[in-house]
Chain A
């Protein structure tokens, strides 16, 4: 319980700083103290599963959750260890390092583990330098270059890039052989304003999101058509079958399995049964690709993460079964079976303020995109809690034009450079960094950045501005209660 209180005190200080425009006397209460995810019994390393999973229904599902939780926290190495395949490029060496706040499966924590990557020997300091945008208490980040560069290093705005530029290489590690790679030129990209950032999305309750039928989302979209707020919205559709994608900052990923497989490959450099080849940087891919000396570093061939066809016999059948799937399958199961955060009814600000804030949140138009509840999920063939349930995610899962303040000039699927998914707000009360790039820890800044040229949210943000200080405080208290 100590950690959230420390975080809260830091954030209270930062939130109290005066802001232009909206904020004079109201303040972001900061990270909500108390039970993790609002759930009695949850700890940072042991987030709670869905109720039916907790009661092991169907039999064996809890073992899969626990096994997935364990694999989610495994620290990967390049070769010679129990968990091989890291690199040749990576952003971190475990899922839980980045998805950590307020518990495993969440978003970035107050202590950025990437800041320790070199000091802890995860990357060699002889071949890696810490990018300047990675700080001890700043957001956990991935970096992308919106554009490829010309021969002189300047951005070529006729050549969109947008792919992830991994922060570190395995070069120089004792388990990485002769692989010799250089990091991307982050300094040059920063000088040319050709770099954007993304922070980890929390995954609590994501099984409910995955199990919403498209027709439910389409009906919600139609119901919002008369919003009188300047809000349009569209869906990012999966390029293979045309159904609605819903995970990631731009709703670019269709499923949790895809989300897991891509992250394993892109963030940790581990090939798997969805992404079977080592991933060069976008600019490497346009030239010779990765050098042969950086391939098959684990020595076991590809994919580095695969189904375990042979597992040790175990009298506990469920435990034996859970050892068979590949890591990405168990990552997906873990995320799918995580319970959603529980809202506080009284903290911060008291029950009346939270209730007022929720009413205001709806009436000024926030709920048009941050739809409080999607009813209801499809019947579930996995576990009862996923089926016929309400996803109180505070999202319409549409992508919206968010204007010039938030645009990152990265296109993903059908989403353009200024379009983002309405970020689900459940669990917001215990998140530290906000917006896709983690630019702020202050909810007021996050709200203010919703209005700019080209944004669908300008009218709503200005409605927020028009409220009294007390009303705005009620909304902030409500948001931190989530």
Chain B
């Protein structure tokens, strides 16, 4: 099936998401260029196939950050807001989901919250779970940071979390990282502020967070798209020579067909070629308790983001 015909089946939102990746959008043809808009995009997220929620599609409304993809609802104070939206996901699977702070700039003493996610299919860190990832963070803290609380596990809203606390001595900034695993991502709440007491109050608020029942979602499996699980495979035919990593998340249905493709970072023509190829891939259906179930996995096209090299501490 070609991308064009796939697009015809998509919701208007997803269709525009795909077309939007064709470089430009949002400006009225023939008028002055509006200020403060990004019309020319490089590698950018997009999606094709069944219209499913995406990690980057969360929003702040009604005093909460909500993410349909992560099944996450994080309540925020009425007088807190998101001043600026985050960047698009990186080609190593790092997302800025929300940046929340007091709406009154004089309230910076109350700290800030960054909600981020690392797709564990594509992380640059040698980590496979939240504890390993947070330990990697701790081990790579720069000079001047002092660990106030080594990574420890705890339970919040019936989910396992890992907590790391550290202090930047000169700046007097306290950092508290609370990380949990959702759909093969490590979702991180990063609290930053100068007041330890204010930070602790913020952290306590996280007990009101709503987290997902992951049985509602496709099983996520790293490296499922290997030869032993692939029945048919057509490699994409790229129309331009590029060297960027193209991380892709796919959802495979019970029949082994690719029902949803999410490009974390791809140029438009790369997304078209890969979507076209993936529409012809066939997998062995993933089995759970003897029954075929949907499975979500990751594929990296293009250039691998990192060879096997050691990282400086």
Contacts and interface: CB of A to CB of B under 8 A. Distances in A.
Given A228-B177, A451-B84, A409 B170 contact: no
A228 B175 contact: yes
A418 interface: yes
Nearest to B23: A160
Interface in B102-136: 105, 108, 112, 114, 116, 123-125, 133, 136
Given A152-B30, A156-B29, A362 B144 contact: yes
Given A223-B311, A359-B170, A466-B194, A234 B24 contact: no
Given A226-B140, A414-B42, A459 B170 contact: no
Interface string A100-133: 0000000000000000000000000000000000
B66 interface: no
Interface stretch (B68-76, B230-238, B239-247, B288-296): B239-247
B312 A225 contact: no
B44 A237 contact: no
B295 to A, nearest CB: 26
Interface stretch (A168-176, A213-221, A256-264, A268-276): A213-221
A362 B142 contact: yes
A134 to B, nearest CB: 21
B310 interface: yes
Interface stretch (A318-326, A399-407, A425-433): A399-407
B84 A237 contact: no
Interface string A144-160: 00110010101111101
A453 B124 contact: no
B33 A454 contact: no
B184 interface: no
Interface in B32-67: 32-44
B36 A194 contact: no
Q: How large is the interface on B (under 10, 10 to 19, 20 to 34, 35 or more residues)?
A: 35 or more
B234 to A, nearest CB: 24
A19 interface: no
Given A225-B92, A404-B38, A157 B244 contact: no
A455 B133 CA distance: 24
Contacts of B169: 359, 363
B250 interface: no
A255 B119 CA distance: 34
A387 interface: no
Contacts of A191: 32
A405 B173 contact: no
Contact of A363 (B112, B171, B177, B243): B171
Interface in B188-218: 188, 190, 192-194
B101 interface: yes
Contacts of A375: 312
Nearest to A218: B306
A225 B94 contact: yes
Interface in A201-241: 215, 218-226, 228-230, 232-234, 237-239
User: Per DSSP, are chain B's interface residues mostly helix, strand or loop, or mixed?
Assistant: loop
Q: For this complex, into which size category does the number of interface residues on chain A fall? A: 35 or more
From A363, A364, A451, A459, residue with most partner B Cβ within 10 Å? A363
**Of B29, B30, B89, which is in contact with the most chain A CB atoms at under 10 Å from its CB?**
B30
A338 interface: no
A413 to B, nearest CB: 9
Contacts of B37: 404, 407
B99 A458 contact: yes
Contacts of B38: 404, 407, 409, 416-418, 454
A453 B33 contact: no
Given A193-B34, A225-B136, A417 B309 contact: no
B145 A226 contact: no
B143 A401 contact: no
Nearest to B108: A466
A230 B307 contact: no
Contacts of B144: 359, 362-363
A453 B36 CA distance: 9
A226 B136 contact: yes
A465 interface: yes
Contacts of A418: 38, 41
A66 interface: no
Interface string B159-195: 0000000001111010101000000000010101110
B250 to A, nearest CB: 22
A407 B39 CA distance: 9
Contacts of A31: none
Contact of B41 (A226, A238, A417, A453): A417
A49 to B, nearest CB: 29
A228 B168 CA distance: 13
28 contacts: A21-B105, A160-B40, A194-B33, A225-B92, A225-B140, A226-B136, A226-B137, A226-B140, A228-B137, A228-B175, A228-B190, A233-B90, A237-B242, A359-B144, A360-B171, A362-B142, A363-B168, A363-B170, A364-B171, A407-B38, A416-B44, A418-B41, A419-B42, A451-B83, A453-B85, A454-B85, A463-B192, A465-B108
Interface of B: 23-24, 27, 29-44, 83-92, 94, 96, 99, 101, 105, 108, 112, 114, 116, 123-125, 133, 136-137, 140, 142-145, 168-171, 173, 175, 177, 188, 190, 192-194, 241-244, 265, 303, 306-307, 309-313
Interface of A: 21, 146-147, 150, 152, 154-158, 160, 162, 191-194, 215, 218-226, 228-230, 232-234, 237-239, 242, 356, 359-360, 362-364, 367, 375, 400-401, 403-405, 407, 409-411, 414-419, 451-456, 458-459, 462-463, 465-467, 471
Given A416-B43, A459-B112, 11 more contacts: A154-B29, A162-B40, A192-B33, A222-B309, A228-B190, A359-B171, A403-B87, A414-B43, A417-B38, A454-B38, A463-B173
